Amino acid sequence: MGSRLGGIFWSLIFLAVPVLGVATFAIAPSYNIWLPKNVSEHGSSIDGLFYFILALTGVVFIATEGLLFWFIWKYDAAKAKGPATYIHGSHTLEVVWTIIPAATLLFLAIYQMNTWADVKMRRPAMAPTVEVVARQFEWRLRYPGRDGMLGTRDDLFLTNDLHLPVDEDVLIQLKSMDVLHSFFLPNFRIKQDAVPGMKIPVWFKAKETGQFDIVCAELCGWGHYKMKGRVTIESRADFDRWLEETYARQEATQPAPEDTVAAAAD
Protein backbone atom coordinates (compact mmCIF):
# COMPACT_ATOMS: atom_id res chain seq x y z
CA MET A 1 0.00 0.00 0.00
CA GLY A 2 2.80 2.39 0.94
CA SER A 3 4.61 1.69 -2.35
CA ARG A 4 1.40 2.34 -4.27
CA LEU A 5 0.87 5.68 -2.50
CA GLY A 6 4.48 6.58 -3.18
CA GLY A 7 4.01 5.95 -6.89
CA ILE A 8 0.89 8.10 -6.96
CA PHE A 9 2.68 10.87 -5.06
CA TRP A 10 5.64 11.03 -7.46
CA SER A 11 3.47 10.83 -10.55
CA LEU A 12 1.38 13.75 -9.27
CA ILE A 13 4.59 15.70 -8.54
CA PHE A 14 5.66 15.30 -12.17
CA LEU A 15 2.16 16.30 -13.33
CA ALA A 16 2.33 19.45 -11.16
CA VAL A 17 5.49 20.65 -12.94
CA PRO A 18 3.84 21.38 -16.33
CA VAL A 19 0.60 22.54 -14.70
CA LEU A 20 2.34 25.08 -12.45
CA GLY A 21 4.78 26.05 -15.21
CA VAL A 22 2.03 26.91 -17.67
CA ALA A 23 0.01 28.66 -14.96
CA THR A 24 3.02 30.83 -14.07
CA PHE A 25 3.42 32.03 -17.66
CA ALA A 26 -0.33 32.61 -17.93
CA ILE A 27 -0.65 34.86 -14.85
CA ALA A 28 2.75 36.61 -14.97
CA PRO A 29 1.59 39.53 -17.19
CA SER A 30 -1.25 40.28 -14.75
CA TYR A 31 1.31 40.81 -11.96
CA ASN A 32 3.59 42.98 -14.12
CA ILE A 33 6.46 40.49 -14.00
CA TRP A 34 6.58 39.85 -17.73
CA LEU A 35 8.57 41.55 -20.50
CA PRO A 36 9.08 45.31 -20.08
CA LYS A 37 7.04 47.52 -22.38
CA ASN A 38 8.46 47.68 -25.89
CA VAL A 39 9.01 51.21 -27.23
CA SER A 40 11.23 50.52 -30.26
CA GLU A 41 10.35 49.92 -33.88
CA HIS A 42 12.09 46.55 -34.15
CA GLY A 43 11.04 45.34 -30.69
CA SER A 44 7.82 43.75 -31.95
CA SER A 45 9.81 41.47 -34.27
CA ILE A 46 12.07 40.37 -31.42
CA ASP A 47 9.07 39.81 -29.13
CA GLY A 48 7.41 37.80 -31.90
CA LEU A 49 10.45 35.53 -32.11
CA PHE A 50 10.48 35.17 -28.32
CA TYR A 51 6.81 34.14 -28.18
CA PHE A 52 7.18 31.75 -31.11
CA ILE A 53 10.14 29.97 -29.51
CA LEU A 54 8.37 30.01 -26.12
CA ALA A 55 5.29 28.32 -27.66
CA LEU A 56 7.41 25.78 -29.53
CA THR A 57 9.49 24.79 -26.50
CA GLY A 58 6.39 24.97 -24.29
CA VAL A 59 4.63 22.33 -26.35
CA VAL A 60 7.68 20.06 -26.12
CA PHE A 61 7.92 20.72 -22.37
CA ILE A 62 4.27 19.83 -21.75
CA ALA A 63 4.48 16.72 -23.91
CA THR A 64 7.65 15.53 -22.17
CA GLU A 65 6.29 16.08 -18.68
CA GLY A 66 3.01 14.45 -19.69
CA LEU A 67 4.87 11.35 -20.84
CA LEU A 68 6.85 11.24 -17.59
CA PHE A 69 3.60 11.37 -15.62
CA TRP A 70 2.02 8.63 -17.73
CA PHE A 71 5.02 6.28 -17.46
CA ILE A 72 5.34 6.74 -13.70
CA TRP A 73 1.62 6.16 -13.26
CA LYS A 74 1.36 3.17 -15.61
CA TYR A 75 4.54 1.39 -14.62
CA ASP A 76 4.24 1.77 -10.88
CA ALA A 77 6.40 -0.84 -9.11
CA ALA A 78 3.46 -1.83 -6.91
CA LYS A 79 1.52 -2.99 -9.99
CA ALA A 80 4.42 -4.89 -11.61
CA LYS A 81 3.57 -8.52 -12.35
CA GLY A 82 7.09 -9.65 -13.09
CA PRO A 83 10.69 -8.53 -13.37
CA ALA A 84 11.53 -5.49 -15.48
CA THR A 85 12.66 -6.01 -19.06
CA TYR A 86 15.34 -3.89 -20.69
CA ILE A 87 15.86 -2.78 -24.28
CA HIS A 88 19.44 -2.19 -25.37
CA GLY A 89 18.57 0.63 -27.76
CA SER A 90 17.04 1.61 -31.05
CA HIS A 91 19.17 3.07 -33.81
CA THR A 92 16.06 4.31 -35.65
CA LEU A 93 14.80 6.12 -32.57
CA GLU A 94 18.19 7.75 -31.98
CA VAL A 95 18.29 9.00 -35.59
CA VAL A 96 14.77 10.41 -35.29
CA TRP A 97 15.39 12.30 -32.06
CA THR A 98 18.61 13.71 -33.54
CA ILE A 99 17.06 14.82 -36.84
CA ILE A 100 13.98 16.48 -35.32
CA PRO A 101 15.89 18.88 -32.97
CA ALA A 102 18.44 19.60 -35.73
CA ALA A 103 15.68 20.45 -38.20
CA THR A 104 13.96 22.61 -35.61
CA LEU A 105 17.12 24.59 -34.91
CA LEU A 106 17.76 25.02 -38.64
CA PHE A 107 14.22 26.31 -39.12
CA LEU A 108 14.65 28.82 -36.26
CA ALA A 109 17.96 29.98 -37.70
CA ILE A 110 16.32 30.71 -41.06
CA TYR A 111 13.13 32.12 -39.53
CA GLN A 112 14.98 34.77 -37.53
CA MET A 113 17.39 35.91 -40.25
CA ASN A 114 15.43 38.98 -41.34
CA THR A 115 15.02 40.23 -37.76
CA TRP A 116 18.71 39.64 -37.07
CA ALA A 117 19.63 41.58 -40.21
CA ASP A 118 17.43 44.53 -39.17
CA VAL A 119 19.03 44.70 -35.73
CA LYS A 120 22.64 43.73 -36.47
CA MET A 121 23.39 44.13 -40.18
CA ARG A 122 21.30 46.84 -41.88
CA ARG A 123 23.04 49.80 -40.36
CA PRO A 124 21.45 53.18 -41.15
CA ALA A 125 23.53 55.41 -43.43
CA MET A 126 24.18 58.23 -40.98
CA ALA A 127 26.81 59.65 -38.67
CA PRO A 128 26.73 58.49 -35.04
CA THR A 129 24.12 60.27 -32.94
CA VAL A 130 26.12 59.73 -29.75
CA GLU A 131 29.13 57.78 -28.52
CA VAL A 132 28.57 55.57 -25.46
CA VAL A 133 31.69 54.50 -23.58
CA ALA A 134 31.31 51.86 -20.87
CA ARG A 135 33.58 52.29 -17.87
CA GLN A 136 33.62 50.78 -14.40
CA PHE A 137 30.98 51.68 -13.29
CA GLU A 138 29.24 54.27 -15.44
CA TRP A 139 28.17 55.13 -18.97
CA ARG A 140 30.15 58.02 -20.47
CA LEU A 141 28.36 59.81 -23.29
CA ARG A 142 29.77 62.08 -25.99
CA TYR A 143 27.58 64.03 -28.39
CA PRO A 144 28.85 65.86 -31.49
CA GLY A 145 29.11 69.57 -30.88
CA ARG A 146 27.77 72.31 -33.13
CA ASP A 147 30.02 71.14 -35.97
CA GLY A 148 28.09 67.82 -36.05
CA MET A 149 31.25 65.70 -35.80
CA LEU A 150 32.45 63.40 -33.05
CA GLY A 151 36.01 63.72 -31.84
CA THR A 152 36.36 67.47 -32.19
CA ARG A 153 36.97 70.20 -29.64
CA ASP A 154 33.33 71.18 -29.15
CA ASP A 155 31.99 67.71 -28.25
CA LEU A 156 29.43 67.52 -25.44
CA PHE A 157 30.27 65.19 -22.53
CA LEU A 158 27.80 63.63 -20.08
CA THR A 159 27.49 60.65 -17.75
CA ASN A 160 24.57 58.23 -17.40
CA ASP A 161 22.04 60.68 -18.89
CA LEU A 162 21.28 59.75 -22.49
CA HIS A 163 18.78 61.86 -24.46
CA LEU A 164 17.48 60.85 -27.89
CA PRO A 165 14.76 62.07 -30.28
CA VAL A 166 11.57 60.06 -30.86
CA ASP A 167 10.57 58.65 -34.27
CA GLU A 168 14.08 59.04 -35.69
CA ASP A 169 16.83 56.56 -36.50
CA VAL A 170 19.49 56.61 -33.78
CA LEU A 171 23.02 55.33 -34.30
CA ILE A 172 25.14 54.75 -31.21
CA GLN A 173 28.88 54.15 -31.33
CA LEU A 174 29.58 51.77 -28.45
CA LYS A 175 33.01 51.35 -26.83
CA SER A 176 34.54 50.10 -23.59
CA MET A 177 37.26 51.87 -21.66
CA ASP A 178 38.34 48.92 -19.51
CA VAL A 179 36.65 45.50 -19.31
CA LEU A 180 33.80 43.71 -21.09
CA HIS A 181 30.42 45.36 -20.44
CA SER A 182 26.97 44.88 -21.99
CA PHE A 183 24.84 47.84 -23.07
CA PHE A 184 21.27 46.81 -22.23
CA LEU A 185 18.12 48.83 -22.97
CA PRO A 186 15.29 46.47 -21.97
CA ASN A 187 12.47 48.65 -23.33
CA PHE A 188 14.18 48.92 -26.72
CA ARG A 189 15.13 45.23 -26.93
CA ILE A 190 18.78 46.25 -27.29
CA LYS A 191 21.58 44.22 -25.72
CA GLN A 192 25.09 44.58 -27.11
CA ASP A 193 28.44 43.73 -25.55
CA ALA A 194 30.90 46.61 -25.27
CA VAL A 195 34.27 45.05 -26.10
CA PRO A 196 37.57 46.78 -25.26
CA GLY A 197 39.37 47.95 -28.39
CA MET A 198 36.28 47.82 -30.62
CA LYS A 199 33.80 50.41 -31.93
CA ILE A 200 30.43 48.67 -32.23
CA PRO A 201 27.43 50.30 -33.93
CA VAL A 202 24.01 50.00 -32.26
CA TRP A 203 20.86 51.40 -33.86
CA PHE A 204 17.11 51.61 -33.22
CA LYS A 205 14.13 53.94 -33.54
CA ALA A 206 12.09 54.89 -30.46
CA LYS A 207 8.31 55.00 -30.89
CA GLU A 208 7.32 56.64 -27.59
CA THR A 209 8.59 59.42 -25.36
CA GLY A 210 9.50 58.82 -21.73
CA GLN A 211 12.35 57.78 -19.47
CA PHE A 212 13.78 54.27 -19.50
CA ASP A 213 16.64 52.31 -17.92
CA ILE A 214 20.17 51.70 -19.11
CA VAL A 215 21.86 48.79 -17.33
CA CYS A 216 24.97 46.67 -17.72
CA ALA A 217 24.10 43.03 -18.43
CA GLU A 218 27.64 41.69 -18.06
CA LEU A 219 29.32 41.09 -14.69
CA CYS A 220 32.06 43.70 -14.87
CA GLY A 221 33.38 43.99 -11.31
CA TRP A 222 32.35 44.74 -7.74
CA GLY A 223 30.29 47.79 -8.74
CA HIS A 224 28.39 46.07 -11.56
CA TYR A 225 25.10 46.38 -9.66
CA LYS A 226 25.22 50.18 -9.68
CA MET A 227 26.19 50.65 -13.34
CA LYS A 228 22.90 52.24 -14.29
CA GLY A 229 21.84 55.12 -16.47
CA ARG A 230 18.76 56.76 -17.88
CA VAL A 231 17.61 57.30 -21.45
CA THR A 232 15.10 60.06 -22.13
CA ILE A 233 13.15 59.91 -25.37
CA GLU A 234 11.67 63.26 -26.36
CA SER A 235 10.45 65.23 -29.34
CA ARG A 236 12.98 66.71 -31.74
CA ALA A 237 12.22 70.24 -30.47
CA ASP A 238 12.73 69.20 -26.83
CA PHE A 239 15.87 67.27 -27.76
CA ASP A 240 17.39 70.27 -29.57
CA ARG A 241 16.49 72.53 -26.65
CA TRP A 242 18.12 70.12 -24.19
CA LEU A 243 21.25 69.95 -26.34
CA GLU A 244 21.60 73.74 -26.42
CA GLU A 245 20.99 74.12 -22.68
CA THR A 246 23.44 71.35 -21.80
CA TYR A 247 26.02 72.69 -24.24
CA ALA A 248 25.70 76.18 -22.69
CA ARG A 249 26.25 74.76 -19.20
CA GLN A 250 29.36 72.92 -20.36
CA GLU A 251 30.78 76.03 -22.02
CA ALA A 252 30.12 78.07 -18.89
CA THR A 253 32.28 75.73 -16.81
CA GLN A 254 35.18 75.47 -19.27
CA PRO A 255 37.92 78.06 -19.82
CA ALA A 256 38.02 79.86 -23.12
CA PRO A 257 40.68 78.60 -25.59
CA GLU A 258 42.77 81.78 -25.21
CA ASP A 259 42.74 81.41 -21.41
CA THR A 260 44.03 77.82 -21.79
CA VAL A 261 46.87 78.97 -24.02
CA ALA A 262 47.80 81.79 -21.62
CA ALA A 263 47.79 79.43 -18.64
CA ALA A 264 50.08 77.03 -20.49
CA ALA A 265 52.49 79.85 -21.36
CA ASP A 266 52.67 80.97 -17.73
Render pLDDT for 172-224 as a digit per residue (tens, 0 to 9).
999 999 999 999 999 999 999 999 999 999 999 999 999 999 999 999 999 99
Quick: pLDDT tens for 150-177.
Answer: 888 889 999 999 999 999 999 999 999 9
The helix (run of H) or strand (run of E) holding residue 130 is strand 130-135
| Close Cβ partners of 119 (under 8 Å, ≥ 6 residues apart) | 42, 46
Say how far apart CA 114 and CA 106 lie, in whole Å.
14
What pLDDT score does 135 carry? 95
pLDDT confidence of 256, banded at 50, 70, 90? low
Gap between the Cα atoms of 12 and 31, Å rounded: 27
Q: Which domains does the chain have, with CATH numbers?
A: 2-77+93-119 (no CATH), 130-254 (2.60.40.420)
Compute the mean pLDDT over every residue in the chain, rounded to the nearest whole number. 87
Give the count of alpha carbons within 13 A of 70, CB side only. Answer: 6
Judge whether residue 43 has pLDDT over 80.
yes
pLDDT band at 254 (very low <50, low <70, confident <90, very high): confident
**pTM greater than 0.75 (yes/no):** yes
The tens digit of pLDDT for each residue in 123-159 reads 999 999 999 999 999 999 999 988 888 888 889 999 9
Say what the pLDDT of residue 31 is.
Answer: 82
